[in-house]
Structure 1
């Protein structure tokens, strides 16, 4: 599965205006929101599918994948 190979942030945010959860990938340039879901679970599922499609599109085009952001937490 692609999630084991690449570690990209997936941002999921509720939108009152759209009445759904919006999904974005900050590490990938372009539009802020890439997909959505009416439930949080649906948004996650849609997000995984979009991430797989993004990676495939980069690989097909020969374009290098963006570096994943690293979040450091202090305990």
Structure 2
């Protein structure tokens, strides 16, 4: 099982998400839960397409961290 980082952003109409390790793999949704579900489906579809094309599946390599700044 692979675990890819997704970035979820608030939009004017809901949420959008993308996977930095998977160029062009994006999804949208009206709620965070919906965009997360849609992103899981988008990643599975994306990886399936890469396999069908005989292309290499990118290994997850992106990580995230928060930093605190006095404001």
TM-score (norm 1): 0.75
Count of matched residue pairs: 65
1:38 equivalent in alignment to 2:30: yes
Say which structure is richer in helix: 1
TM-score of the two chains, using structure 2 as the length reference: 0.79
What's the Cα RMSD here? 1.8
Gaps of 5+ in 1: none
Greater C-alpha Rg: 2
Shift of 1:67: 2.1
Which structure 1 residue ranges, 4+ long, deviate > 2 Å from structure 2? 70-73
